[in-house]
Amino acid sequence: MRERGGSRPGGGRVFGLAVCVAFLGWNLAAVQSGCAEESLPRPNVLLILVDDLGYGDLACQGADDMRTPHIDRLAASGMTFTNFYANCPVCSPTRAALLTGRYQDLVGVPGVIRTHPRNNWGYLRHDAVLLPAAMAKAGYHTAMVGKWHLGLAAPNLPNDRGFAHFRGFLGDMMDDYYNHRRHGINYMRKDKTTIDPKGHATDLFSQWAVDYLKVAAARRDNRPFFLYLAYNAPHTPIQPPEDWVKRVLDREPKIEKRRARLVALIEHMDDGIGRVLAALKANGQAENTLVIFSSDNGGQLSVGANNGRLRDGKQSVYEGGLKVPTCAAWPGRIEAGSKSDLMALSMDLFPTVCEVAGAPVSKGIEGRSILPTLRGKPQNELRKLWFFSRREGGARYAGKTIEALRRGPWKLLQNSPFAPLELYNLESDPLEKTNLSRKNPRVFREMSAALRRQLQRYGEVPWQKPGSGN
């Protein structure tokens, strides 16, 4: 695989000749060599986000007990990112960052949005511009299938925030993949209508995406589409169809049963993604569709997830909770079999997709486009300081926050609100084994001060619904 570097110093987006991609009216100019341009129609965009997928939980990511041929093929047909991070080690905040291009705390979602006010830690601010709204302004038909997790009532429903079509689940997690309830409440919707479909949620989401693509292909106005496909899998409960579990056990007789069920749930999801990608091809849409695949956070170790050699997993601001498998494919525009070590965040996908589509980007977002890297062009480091944060309740967190800050090779973190800050050098210690806070007091002081300033910035934004009485 051809390597694409991305480690040169300097922040901000790269414009003009450095990008060599110009957007004129409704057309995307693609650079074949130098600045020679070929006029192309605006691409469709399929953004696939999966839930709690570990950094090492794909065959193409090194899982030798896993069979994920469709995601593997997608990665091989485009660019794989080896240094891509979720904004947060849990669901709602990363989704808020992804869909707004902003740090999640700055749009009011520092923690998980849940059914009961006493355990709710976010409320999406009304003035945040979401990706579907920006894409709609550029003439795209916008659709979402799957897990929303950014609000359970108006004005924070998918159709309120820019999606013309929604078919999926509003809540945080399903207590059962087959009856689709959470706390006994049915959160399945078709637009704003409550529905009660039969079947495994992964199968439903895959089929609904296939159905949407068929409708999009038949649309006479030739509008490109933006489809956000967000799976619940492989989030708990680990509830794969039993025939998929049997396949894994037959193939891997020595596998731990807990691990077998997670592998089966991921392989079942991969099969659904394969059906969606096959529909793109059958409809004649594949050649002009940018497909992006990522996860909202790292894998949950207690259910058998594999985060590779990284420390810890979901809920943690150690590397295993934040680093996620990510790839992008776009026939003829992204080089097949390429890799990039450019460090990027979930929120960087917002301006990337907007730039591809010629969509307006709100001023003041923290996200930075990675389109130059996708097109094989040199790109400066996206930012000097990288912030990660999470607010949570319960006795373990007590409504407080955990956070991390990256600056070059240095990483400062506090993985419990009741523990001291820790300092690591990821260049020499990628597994975060040796705390250097006492040996490097200057770095520790500088980064601690920067983190405090960012937390003060977050404090300007409310994160509870007005009048909720929490």
Q: What is the DSSP letter of 128?
A: P
Q: What is the DSSP string of 8-58?
A: BS--S---GGGT---EETTEEEEESSTT-EEEEPPPEEEEEEESS--TT-S
Q: Which of 88, 91, 327, 354 is catalytic?
A: 91
Instruction: Check if 20 is active-site.
Output: no
**Residue keyed to tokens 């923690």:** 111
Q: With H, G, I as helix, E, B as strand and everything else as coil, classify residue 90.
A: coil
Residue 91 among the catalytic residues = yes
Beta bridge partners of 340: 4, 81
Q: Which residues of 332-360 are buried (b: 16+ CB within 10 A; e: fewer)?
A: ebbbeebbbebbbbbbbbbbbbbbbbbbe
243 neighbors 227 (Cβ within 8 angstroms): no
Whether 78 and 336 have beta carbons less than 8 Å apart is answered as: yes
Closest CA to 459 of 60, 103, 175: 103
Give the separation between CA 467 and CA 59, rounded to whole angstroms.
48
Contacts of 356 (CB under 8 A, 6+ apart): 28, 42, 43, 45, 290, 371
Q: Which pair of structure tokens corresponds to residue 422? A: 């820790």
| Rounded Cα gap, residues 157 and 148, in angstroms | 8
- Longest CA pairwise span in the chain (Å): 65
Strand partners, 27: 24
Q: Of the listed 70, 141, 149, 165, which one is catalytic?
A: 149
Query: Which residues form the catalytic set?
Result: 91, 149
